[in-house]
A and B are shown apart, each in its own frame.
Chain A
Amino acid sequence: MTASPSEPYDLAVVGAGSAGLAGAVTASELGLSVALLDSSTQSGGQFYRHPAPALGAVRPEALHHDWSAFSDLRRRLGASTVDHLTGHHVWSFIRESGGSGGSGGSGEPEESGGSGADGESWTVHAITGADGTEERPVRIRARALLLATGAYERQLPFPGWTLPGVVGAGGAQAMLKSGLVLPGRRIVVAGSGPLLLAVASSLAAAGARVPAVVEAAGYLRYARSPRALATNPAKAAEALVHGAALLRHRVRVLPRSAVTEVHGTDRVEAVTVSRLDGDWTPVPGTGRRIACDALAVGHGLVPQIELATAVGCATRALPDGTLGLALSEFQETSVAGLWAAGETGGVGGAGLARTEGELAGRAIAARLRGRRADPAPDRGVRPGRVGELRRRRDRMRAFADVMSAAHAPGPGWPAWLEDETDVCRCEEVTAGRVREAVTDLGARDARTVKLLTRAGMGWCQGRMCGTAVACLAARDGAPEPPAERRPFAVPVPLATLAALDEPTVEQTP
């Protein structure tokens, strides 16, 4: 690397969704120089994804819950000195000096400080453009990093899921929110998780017929943790809003059911919905056909953490079978100088993300100045604010864990698969080949299944098939969560890699 004479940013934030925005504006308002990198051209992340200005949406809030929380953050961003770098796809970051990297994250920010205070810095590598194909790589140095990369949708395969017209539930919502389009006129919404109700109500509000919401879990499981529900009235209210919308649009909700087949040759014509037992195994003879021209499907969200696992951050297994980052009370990862907020620590929604983002922003500012995070008698800081944020965070995390546990895939779901069903969409690897690798070829984990079948080796790097492959590789045992290891968070042109030592790509405060 060519040494740069320029100063690094105090903080680089990766991701401009709720968590990243809150972290960036908080840190900036506390006096830090901040770069906010995001792949999109607009802030908001997936939750507050909204139409481009040219689409002239007068009421973007019609597609969102709690729009004012976002518009407030956006206003503060506009008034701040944060360098908002849009169209920046971060493919890797690394710590440039110091090296040991293992000692952070255990407790409160200490007087002595970790990164930043002793001259360590991070280098963030990004490619640019709407889809990262512009020939203008960027390198940024920062004393501290906040990872706020959100989540992507978890998918479980079933016969017909590769047919055009089958789209992610989150995908259908994203395309609606940003492009004002629908994949069809009659859309079945299926899978598992609280997102399904939100998706169904948005699609219905935007003019689609939603013949059914097909939910694999039973909603009754929420009732097992009444305290978490009772202490999170905002979440309960949100669910009621969706519930009321579904009633208004006459959407039927079918709990303990799953789409077990998609019909059609070149596009969706109908789906078969079957009842599930408590393990998510389809009950024979319960299948019934529902006519539709699209299916929006998803099974919850997976924290997007590969940038952090690449530098060795510790993870924790979450109740829904995914992997999130293990974080300290102040949102720091196990690698000193790297903080995380929002879905990267476990999926919990936009409100939690905002809380964690602000908490991280305050902790980082305190660390870089060699002070404890709380109390912070600095400008604009109310006494006790950090304690308040921590309490709110803990309460919302507890609720998120309850929701998450209720929607963990049941062990019987692989019974949906036929041997010919593609599990890996990119490399077209069928369930039969994955099973053969496990039963006949000595694969005992997802990694060896990948080596022997190419499942997970394609463009998406296992994001779509990771859960399924992990379940099939585990045979009868409990599946390990997919490892979420992707050394390149996005594909990088070889010419860009070859030119990494050129000084021209440095972006400075």
Chain B
Amino acid sequence: MPTRKPSDVIVVGAGVVGAACAYYAAQAGLSVTVVDRGSVAGGTTGAGEGNLLVSDKEPGPELELALLANTLWRELADVLPPHVEYEAKGGLVVASGESGMRALRDFAARQEKAGVTAQEVPGDRLHDLEPHLAPGLAGGFLYPQDSQVMPAHAAAQLLRAAGDRVRLCLGEEVTGLLTGGAGEIRGVRTAAGELHAPYVVNAAGTWGGALAELAGVHLPVLPRRGFVLVTEPLPRVVRHKVYAADYVADVASGSAALQTSAVVEGTPAGPVLIGASRERVGFDRTLSVEVLRRLAAGATSLFPVLGTVRAMRTYPGFRPYLPDHLPAIGPDPRVHGLLHACGHEGAGIGLAPVTGQIIALCLTNGELPLDISPFRPDRFGTPEPAPAPDPGSAPDPGSAPDPGSAPDPAL
């Protein structure tokens, strides 16, 4: 097998999280190899809406990450080219009745203590913010920190901005991890040969569990499917990211059953994007007419003007979901040299920069901006009832789940 020039770190996954890890590692002076079995942004990143949200997060570790990421995205927007379509548009959460409004008020009050800016908007002022909103809504909250970015370009431009220290190996699937005598990471094996580095970052998103398996460790990343509905090109008809109050409850739920809540936003390119559905059905890409019906019904109930507007396309994406809804970020104490940066569920675009920064700081022994123990990759222990894999033995790629066998979430 041919070997290639070693680097300081290998990042597996060229989605937005992998791109951010490579970017911040390169900024810290490290040489980075990014390897992906497909293209840049070819997985869940390419199916994302590009939400950079604080509004949907409960006070806690994920909100802390989101607030840090919010600041980093503002900085990146000045550095990256305009293609990334960064827009600090703000989020508007609306409630149809008084009880929903009370719940929003409580939620916002707790968030404000954690550093979130939220402004109550009475029902009769909603149309100043969103002229096309349906009449009769009780009110809402405006979250000025919420913003949006074009996900595929965010990944591509982060990698490009990372400069010469980053080498891209695309179309190369990782088939095994190389380890030394003490079980420490030495690099990865791909179909095209070996790549050497003392550190490997698992940024394989929804397929991160399979990569962990190659390293002989358990990380239960599961796909949580969502459909996005895309309209014909329109002028600006929706100014903010607008969503119904039940969205927050759906995001936090772990239910396998189909959940939908109306999330509507415009894009600089013209089409309006409509979400959001959540269901745990594996990697099934089959069109669900029921999901489409609910998404359309939700969007047209918020914005009746969209009724005559045509949906042109729809696509599923597979959010990388961990059982406690928190990502895995940082070194894996079970395998020296293995770090994880995956499992961000629906928040991967938003949390990418802070994830990349933490990984870079871990690699350079820098001072972390927050306590990362809630994101410990080994917090799920070993699976039961299956016998625990022996960490001392080399992983057998033949018996491990093949990340390539999962359908590529093509648009």
B406 interface contact, C-beta 8 A: no
Contact partners of B293 in chain A: CB under 8 A? 497-498, 500-501
Interface string of B250-282 (1 = CB under 8 A from A): 000000000000000000010100100000000
Q: Is B231 interfacial (CB-CB < 8 Å)?
A: yes
A54 on the B face (CB < 8 A): no
Given contacts A441-B160, A495-B307, contact A487 B313 (CB under 8 A): yes
Chain A 304-332, CB-CB to B under 8 Å as 1, else 0, gives 00000011100000000000000000000
Report whether B410 and A447 are in contact in the complex, using a CB–CB cutoff of 8 Å: yes
When the two chains form the complex, which single residue of A461, A483, A491, A498 contacts B296, counting CB atoms closer than 8 Å? A498
Q: How far is the CA of A445 from the CA of B308 in the complex (A)?
A: 34
- In the docked arrangement, what's the CA distance between A193 and B14, Å? 41
Taking the complex as formed, is A125 at the interface, i.e. its CB lies under 8 A from any CB of chain B? yes
The distance in angstroms between the C-alpha atoms of A483 and B411, with both chains bound, is: 10
Most chain B beta carbons < 10 A, residue from A452, A485, A486: A452
Q: Is A384 engaged at the interface, CB distance under 8 Å to the other chain? A: no
In the complex, which residues of chain B have a beta carbon less than 8 angstroms from the beta carbon of A123?
289
CA distance A68 to B119 in the complex (A): 73
Query: Which of the residues A94, A444, A457, A485 comes within 8 Å of B38, measured between beta carbons?
Result: A444
Whether A1 and B290, one on each chain, are in contact in the complex, defined by CB atoms closer than 8 angstroms, is yes
Whether the Cβ atoms of B312 and A491 lie closer than 8 Å is yes
Task: State the CA gap A486–B42 with chains docked (Å).
Answer: 18
CA distance A422 to B411 in the complex (A): 22
A497 to B41 alpha-carbon distance, docked (Å): 29
In the complex, what distance in Å separates the CA atom of A485 from the CA atom of B316?
13
Q: Given the known A-B contacts A94-B287, A442-B168, are A491 and B310 also in contact in the complex, defined by CB atoms under 8 Å?
A: yes
Pairwise interchain contact A447-B287, C-beta atoms closer than 8 A: no
Contact A497–B308 (Cβ < 8 Å):
no
User: What's the nearest-Cβ distance from chain A to residue B183, in Å?
Assistant: 32
B381, CB-defined interface residue at 8 Å:
no
Distance (Å) between the CB of A95 and the closest chain B CB?
9
Cβ 8 A contact of B156, one of A442, A485, A493, A497: A442
- Residue A494 lies at the interface, judged by CB distance under 8 Å to chain B: yes
Per-residue A-contact encoding for B304-317, CB less than 8 Å = 1, 0 else: 00111111111100
Which chain A residues lie closer than 8 Å to B296 at the CB level?
494-498
Number of interface residues of A (CB under 8 A): 41
- B44 on the A face (CB < 8 A): no
B313 surroundings in chain A (CB, below 8 A): 457, 461, 486-488
Most buried by B among A94, A451, A457, A483: A451
Q: Which chain A residue shows the least CB distance to B159?
A: A442
Take A444-B170, A491-B311, A501-B293 as given contacts and tell me if A451 and B286 are in contact as well, using a CB distance cutoff of 8 Å.
Answer: no
B41 & A448 in contact (Cβ 8 Å cutoff): yes
Distance in angstroms between the alpha carbons of A451 and B293 in the assembled complex? 25
Within 8 A of B (CB), among A466-503: 483, 485-488, 491-498, 500-501
Closest-CB distance, A466 to chain B (whole angstroms): 13
The smallest C-beta distance from B216 to any residue of chain A, in angstroms, reads 30
Q: Which residues of A contact B41 (CB under 8 A)?
A: 442, 448, 451-452
Distance between Cα atoms of A461 and B230 in the complex (Å): 12
Closest to B153 in A: A452
Q: For B307, give the chain A residue with the smallest CB separation.
A: A495
Task: Kindly identify which residue among A125, A458, A488, A494 contacts B309, using a CB–CB cutoff of 8 Å.
Answer: A494
The residues of A that contact B232 with a CB separation of less than 8 Å are: 459, 491
B14 touching A442, Cβ below 8 Å = yes
| A266 adjacent to chain B (CB < 8 Å) | no
The answer to whether B351 has its CB under 8 Å from any CB of chain A is no
A435 → chain B closest CB, angstroms: 14
Assess the B156–A494 pair: CB atoms within 8 A.
no
Q: Collect the chain A residues with CB atoms within 8 Å of residue B289's CB.
A: 1, 92, 94, 123, 125, 500
Distance in angstroms between the alpha carbons of A440 and B14 in the assembled complex: 14
Shortest beta-carbon distance from B347 to chain A in Å: 20
Question: What is the 8 Å Cβ interface bit string for chain B, positions 161-199, against chain A (1 contact, 0 not)?
Answer: 000000010110000000000000000000000000000
Q: Given the complex of chains A and B, what is the CA–CA distance between A441 and B170 in angstroms?
A: 11
Partner of A493 from the list B39, B233, B310, B411 (CB cut-off 8 Å) is B310
CB B168 to nearest CB in A, in angstroms, measures 6
Q: Considering the chains assembled together, what is the distance between the CA atoms of A22 and B238 in angstroms?
A: 49
Q: State how many angstroms separate the Cβ of B170 from the closest Cβ of chain A.
A: 5
Give the complex CA separation of A1 and B293 in angstroms: 10
Report the minimum CB–CB distance from B234 to chain A (whole Å).
12
B300 contacts across to A, CB distance below 8 A: 494-495, 498
- Residue B40, interface by CB 8 Å: yes
On chain B, the residues within 8 Å of A494 by CB distance are 229, 231, 274, 296, 299-300, 306-311
User: Does A454 have its Cβ within 8 Å of any Cβ on chain B?
Assistant: yes
**Bound: A92/B291 CA distance, A:** 14
- Chain B, 13-50, CB within 8 A of any chain A CB: 14, 38-42, 46
Is the C-beta of A423 less than 8 angstroms from some C-beta in chain B?
A: no
Taking a contact as CB atoms under 8 Å apart, the answer to whether B314 and A444 are in contact is no
Check A487–B315 contact: CB distance below 8 A: yes
User: Is the C-beta of A443 less than 8 angstroms from some C-beta in chain B?
Assistant: yes
A451-B312 contact given A442-B168, A491-B232, CB 8 Å threshold:
no
Residues of B contacting A488 in the complex (Cβ-Cβ under 8 angstroms): 311-314
A459 CA / B293 CA spacing, docked (Å) = 21
On whether the beta carbons of A459 and B312 are closer than 8 Å, the reply is: yes
In the complex, residue of chain B having the shortest beta-carbon distance to the beta carbon of A91: B311
C-alpha spacing A500/B294, complex, angstroms:
9
Whether a CB of chain A sits under 8 angstroms from the CB of B349 is no
Given known contacts A441-B160, A442-B156, is B39 in contact with A492 (CB within 8 Å)? Answer: no
Interface flag for A393 (CB, 8 Å): no
Is A454 within 8 A of B290, CB to CB? no
The answer to whether A443 and B311 touch across the interface, beta carbons within 8 angstroms, is no
* CB <8 Å contact, A497 and B292: yes
CB of A311 within 8 A of CB of B46, answer no
Determine whether A450 belongs to the interface, using a CB cutoff of 8 Å to chain B.
yes
Q: Are B308 and A495 in contact (CB under 8 A)?
A: yes
Contact A448 B312 (CB under 8 A): no
Q: Which residue of A lies closest to B155 (CB)?
A: A442
Q: B287 to A441, Cβ gap below 8 A?
A: no
Q: Check if B152 is an interface residue, CB within 8 A of chain A.
A: yes
Cross-chain contact of B286 among A312, A497, A500 (Cβ < 8 A): A312
Q: B36-69 toward A: CB 8 Å interface, digit per residue (1/0)? A: 0011111000100000000000000000000000
Contact partners of B237 in chain A: CB under 8 A: none
**How far apart sit A125 and B411, CA to CA, in the bound complex (Å)?**
22
Of A444, A451, A487, A493, the residue contacting B308 (CB under 8 A) is: A493
Interchain Cβ contacts under 8 Å between A and B, 13 examples:
A442-B14, A444-B171, A451-B41, A457-B230, A487-B314, A488-B313, A492-B311, A497-B292, A497-B297, A497-B311, A498-B297, A498-B299, A500-B289
**Chain A: residues with CB nearer than 8 A to chain B?**
1, 92, 94, 123, 125, 310-312, 427, 437, 440-445, 447-448, 450-452, 454, 457-459, 461, 483, 485-488, 491-498, 500-501
New A-B pairs, 12, CB < 8 Å, besides A447-B42, A451-B46: A94-B287, A441-B153, A441-B156, A442-B39, A442-B170, A445-B39, A447-B46, A447-B410, A457-B230, A491-B312, A494-B309, A500-B293
Chain B residues within CB distance 8 Å of chain A: 14, 38-42, 46, 152-153, 156-157, 159-160, 168, 170-171, 229-233, 269, 271, 274, 286-287, 289-290, 292-293, 295-297, 299-300, 306-315, 410-411
